[in-house]
Amino acid sequence: MSQASADAIFEVLSRHYVNVGMTIINDLADLEALVAAGPDLVFLGMQFISTPQRVWLSDYFDEYDIAYTGSPQTAHELERNKPLAKQRVLDAGLKTAAYCVINQDQLATQSDIQLAFPLFIKPTNKGGGLGVSSDSVARNFTQLQSKAQSISTTFRTDSLIEEYLPGREFSVAILKDESSGYYLSMPIELIAPSDANGDRLLSGPVKASNAEQALPVTDRIMKSAVADLALAVFHALGARDYGRIDIRLDTAGTPHFLEANLIPSLIDGYGSFPKACALNGGLQYEQMILSITNLGLSSGLREVEATLEPALRT
């Protein structure tokens, strides 16, 4: 979660609760200090810290019986590892593009790639469009090898190789309804500017500049197909309460899972999760933040009587 997201959430919660703080977690000592403070709820803005062993925050808070927003460790681990997430989706009988992985220390050969060009290449463990650019679409092996080597050099990580899905792209906000317990699946269509190759890619610069169009999905059949796939993927990953699922169509117009973001950007007017909430039923920013907060409190391992006394009730 960016600092801008954290600041926006803090501003909303400060209008509704009298004891709200923001904690920066850099190491285990910071995490221990937060637990010692005994918060009624932690609004998660990150997945883990490295100490140097990886410590997943949701698992750590579960151990100390502290409520937090969003998904448990197992879902975050899948979100963080894109190939594992895709395999879990395939194992659940859901659609995602055929794929393989090139390890960062591997010089791939043509015999390693049993997929049909064009192919799409991105880091296996990055979000926010990092590592995605016009050269992410490879139309031959030389282009693929060059992009994989670039990812290895720049990000020191493996490359996910997928059969390229050339169709429309959708982002789906998943949010549990506080009253009914049912999940709302709220899709929007995202249209990125066309690059020099004619491809529309949600690259890091496009996302950072908020340059993509976000449109409501008006076709009922397509909306249902995209929303149903996103919700099925959300459950297959073991996610909880809220998150974002990205989907793209193949040449036949069939929706396929791209990736998940279970701690999406939460800035008013920026990022596809808030936009999807607003364009589907008019769920405005402040109520969206309060809904996520209430879900976190109700999903905690213990019942809490909040010391964050509501200053306002909506």
User: Rounded distance, CA 72 to CA 53, Å?
Assistant: 18
Strands 119-123 and 99-102, bridge-based pairing: unpaired
CATH class of domain segment(s) 98-163: alpha beta
| Same topology between domain 98-163 and domain 166-288 | no
Q: Which amino acid is at 151?
A: I
Give the CA count within 13 Å in the CB-facing half-sphere of 18.
7
| 3-class secondary-structure state, position 104 | coil
For 263-301, the pLDDT digits (tens) are 998 988 888 999 999 999 889 999 999 999 999 999 754
Parse the chain into domains and list their residue ranges.
Answer: 3-75, 98-163, 166-288
Contact 296, 262 (CB under 8 A): no
Using CB atoms within 10 A of its CB, is residue 131 exposed (0-12), middle (13-18) or buried (19+)?
A: buried
The pLDDT value recorded for residue 301 is: 40
- Alpha carbon distance 257, 97 (integer Å): 7
Q: Which pLDDT score is estimated for 207?
A: 82
pLDDT digits (tens, 9 = 90+) for 25-53: 999 999 999 999 999 999 999 999 988 88
Q: pLDDT tens digits for 240-264?
A: 999 999 999 999 999 999 999 999 9
Assigned architecture for domain 166-288:
2-Layer Sandwich (3.30)
pLDDT digits (tens, 9 = 90+) for 62-97: 999 999 999 999 999 999 999 999 999 999 999 999
Paired strand residues for 185: 174
Q: How many CB atoms lie within 10 A of CB 90?
A: 15
Q: CA angle at residue 155 from 162 to 110, to 5 degrees?
A: 40
Q: Which amino acid is at 170?
A: F
CA 230 to chain centre: 12
Q: State if pTM tops 0.95.
A: no
